[in-house]
Amino acid sequence: MTSVGFLGLGRMGANMSARLIEHVDHLLAHDISHAAVQSIVGQGAQGAASAKGLGDACEIVFLSLPTPAVVREAVLGPDGVAAGKKVRLICDLSTSGPLLAQELAAGLGEKGIASVDAPVSGGIRGAREGTLAIMAGGPEDAYEQVRPLLEQLGKPFYMGETPGAGQTMKLVNNLLSLTAIAVTAEGMAMGIKAGLDPARMIEVLNSGTGANSATRDKWPRAVLPRSFDFGFAAALSLKDTKLLLDEAQAMKVPMPIGQIVENLLSRTLATYGGDADFTEVAKVVEEAAGLDPEREG
């Protein structure tokens, strides 16, 4: 494999792209942050001046970008990747929703460019350690072209030929993950108000049937120490939840629990600002229960 492109060097993209450097002849990277580009160049990649520059130089380009609107412009815009002369396959690692995946597949297909949607789950640690769960949709032959590289990022799961199949699976995954955070916050708030030790509560939950991704990982790492620095923004969680609810409404699938999660995330952002970590949902629940969310321990 010769030159591979990577667009988007945020907290996830920087770690994922770094894992690809040793597995391609040349990794070209671009981001609106000059510092982010310089960082990956220092690890052995080459910088590209623009998204189109990646498309001009690379047959395969990966994306890791924050919102559907940014993905759309970065791919299909006049200076997007698809305007490049060499690109033949674009793989979107972002959580940008099934509708956009379908739009990209149609728009890229007109240009003879294959499209694979492959959103990831596992957070910054998973991106750094190569343990992400990767949910891929799109033509199987295109998926097979990128599968060896996806395997450097984690464990890929092929969800089918339908554009957006990977995105749908990611939205379902996020619903369960965020619901676990919300319901764990409620249970923990009740126990703490009753005088139970929160660390012992987590120990018990993880030994019993109440164990979930929040009790195993998020509470020990970010909530019990009151650091709330797990590394995933509440704003992005809200974006993902809104994508889920929009898709569910179009499919006529009721999502009452999803709506509760959306409300909690909205309250978290309103209370703690746009830079809030998604684990700060716990503080919103605690405050509603009459606890001091700014307490220590």
- Residue 159 Cα distances to 41, 48, 103, 140, 169, angstroms: 33, 32, 18, 10, 8
Q: How is the beta sheet containing 3-7 ordered, strand by strand?
A: 46-47, 26-30, 3-7, 60-63, 89-92, 114-117
φ and ψ at residue 41, rounded to 5 degrees: -60, -40
Distance CA 52, CA 281 (A): 39
**DSSP string spanning 67-80?**
SHHHHHHHHHSTTS
Yes or no: say if 20 and 152 are a contact pair by the CB < 8 Å rule. yes
Distance CA 102, CA 60 (A): 19
- Residue 52 Cα distances to 33, 83, 182, 218, 222, angstroms: 16, 6, 41, 38, 39
Q: Pick the catalytic residue: 86, 111, 155, 170?
A: 170
Active site residue 170: yes
Q: Which residue has the tokens 């395969």?
A: 60
Q: Which two tokens stand for residue 137?
A: 């949709």
3-class secondary-structure state, position 178: helix
Catalytic residues: 170
